[in-house]
Structure 1
Amino acid sequence: MVDSPKVLVVEDEALLLFSISDELKDAGFEVLEAVDAQQALVLLERNPDVKAIFTDINMPGSMDGLALSRYVRDRWPPIKIVVTSGKHRPSDRDLPAERLFVPKPYTTDGVIAALTAALR
């Protein structure tokens, strides 16, 4: 990617977090990492140039990925949202507007394609 858009990856499983983060960096994204929604919100406050988030739905803490994505949509409307889950497929009414869903297990190419499409 020419302009290296900044993406926040939110995933509580360390292996998945490090793996997809490395792959996204290799694809030209600038990547921030968070292990839960609270950490994600801190990073979003400190990094106003984040263009997209890629978040898992199932995470520990007081806010899951669905709640995080709705909060981001309300607080930072320009940020693009890509949601993933291996446990269930949320209905459209459970997800915020203007988001993409990538089911687990995902491929790196699938995540890159979703982020690229969202950022257009």
Structure 2
Amino acid sequence: MAASKLWHEVDTDEHVVLLAEDEFFIRFDIADELRQRGCQVIEAGSADEAIDVLRSTARIDIVVTDLWMPGKHDGFDVARTVREERPGVSVVVISAHLKPADEHKHLFDLFFPKPTPSERLARAIVEMIDAGPARRTADGA
């Protein structure tokens, strides 16, 4: 289901995670783990969808984004949008490619290489939300 059909359904009593991942099975697995930990998940199959959600009035506690996705925008654009338009929201980057270069470190709070077990990723995301906004660390390892 497209992100544009989900953000109005978010139950604000739970943590809200915006998950931008173009690979369906990876997105499904991570979203399932997060939901098992009591989070509401807004799924975006592209960076374009994620940016639309970020520019809406939806409550978002944390953004998890892949870096390399097809379309007009990528995960770097998602992270830039968060920093510019939602500065209190943390960004977790997941990528099968190399860790982002030093000049991009200001765009994210936590990095996880793919593949990272979805239960480990979900646990770290919930811990980050519980710890408070924008706890900056460079690596999820």
TM-score by length of 2: 0.76
Say which SS state the counterpart of residue 50 (structure 1) adopts.
coil
Does residue 48 (structure 1) correspond to residue 58 (structure 2)? The answer is yes
The 1:110/1:59 distance shift into structure 2, 3 A limit, reads same
Say which SS state the counterpart of residue 15 (structure 1) adopts.
helix
Q: CA offset at residue 117 of structure 1?
A: 3.7
The 1:98/1:55 distance shift into structure 2, 3 A limit, reads closer
Identity %: 34
Does residue 27 (structure 1) correspond to residue 15 (structure 2)? The answer is no
Which amino acid counterpart does residue 36 of structure 2 have in structure 1? D
State the partner residue of 1:108: 118
Which amino acid counterpart does residue 73 of structure 2 have in structure 1? M
- Tell me how far apart the structure 1 counterparts of residues 94 and 51 of structure 2 sit (CA, whole Å): 18
Which amino acid counterpart does residue 125 of structure 2 have in structure 1? L
Alignment of 1:1-120 (within 5 A): 3-97=13-107, 99-119=109-129, 120=131
Say which SS state the counterpart of residue 8 (structure 1) adopts.
strand
The 1:54/1:98 distance shift into structure 2, 3 A limit, reads closer
Q: CA offset at residue 72 of structure 1?
A: 1.0
* Structure 2 stretches lacking a partner, 5+ long: 1-12, 132-141
Say which SS state the counterpart of residue 95 (structure 1) adopts.
helix
- Tell me how far apart the structure 2 counterparts of residues 118 and 73 of structure 1 sit (CA, whole Å): 17
Structure 1 runs of 4+ aligned residues shifted over 2 Å read 44-48, 95-98
TM-score by length of 1: 0.88
Taking only aligned residues, the RMSD between alpha carbons, in angstroms, comes to: 1.6
Greater fraction of residues in strand: 1
* Structure 1 stretches lacking a partner, 5+ long: none
